[in-house]
Amino acid sequence: MRRRLLYSMVDAVFIASLAFLPAGCLAQKISQPTSKQEENIRKFLQDYLGHPYPAFEKEEPSRYSAALVDLKGDGTQEAIVYLTGRGWCGSGGCVTLILIPQDSSYKVLTEITITWTPIRVLATKSHGWHDISVWERGGGNVQAYEAELSFDGVTYPTNPSVPPARPMTQNTEGEVVVPRSVFGRPLYP
C-alpha cells in the first residue's frame, strides 16, 4: 500500500511537471512508424530476440511500442522500442532498445535494462545525439526518479540506475515518445 501511494505521488508530480514544458520544445519530428516501418521493426525484433519461452508468452505475451525520432539530427530517424511481457520485464522494469536503421532493417545501438515509461527525448545533446530519459523505480529502489541517459560517442548507458546514467535534478525540456500508459503491439502474432 505504501509503495502504491509513493508511485501515485511520483506519477502526479511528473504529470504536473509536463504542464510547464513548451509544446514544441524539440526541433525534430517524432512519429509513429508507418505500416511498412512497423513490419520491419517487428521482423527485426523477432530475429534479434528469438523465439519466446512458451510459458512466458502464455502467461503474459510480449508486446512492444516503437517511436521514430531523429536522435542525431541528420535526417535519419532512429527507433526507440519499449518491450513488455514476462520475458522482458522484472521488478526493476522492462527493456528499451535504441535501434538505428540499416538497409530495410535495423541494428541495436543500445539495449537498456530496467526502464519504466514514460520515455522522453530531451532537448539537450551529448556528442551530437539527443539525451533521453526513462523512469527508474522498483527492484530495490525506494524512490522513483527520472534518469537521464546521455550518448557517450558510441552508445547510451545500458542501466539507468548506475553511472554514467544520472538522476535528473532539474526540469529539462523534452518530448514523451513512449507514454506511461503504453499497451503496445503484439510481438509474436
Q: What is the pLDDT of residues 59-97, one digit of tens each?
A: 788 999 999 999 999 999 999 999 998 889 888 899 999
Over range 131-158, report the average pLDDT: 88
Task: Supply the pTM of this predicted model.
Answer: 0.81
Over range 3-24, report the average pLDDT: 39
Please answer whether residues 65 and 187 qualify as being in contact, where contact means their C-beta atoms are separated by less than 8 angstroms.
no
Can you tell me the distance from the alpha carbon of 47 to that of 187, in angstroms, rounded to the nearest whole number?
11
Q: Please tell me the total count of domains within the chain.
A: 1
Q: What is the pLDDT of residues 149-158, one digit of tens each?
A: 999 999 999 9
C-alpha cell at 130: 539527443
Over range 167-174, report the average pLDDT: 90
Which domain does 141 fall in, by range?
Answer: 2-20+28-186
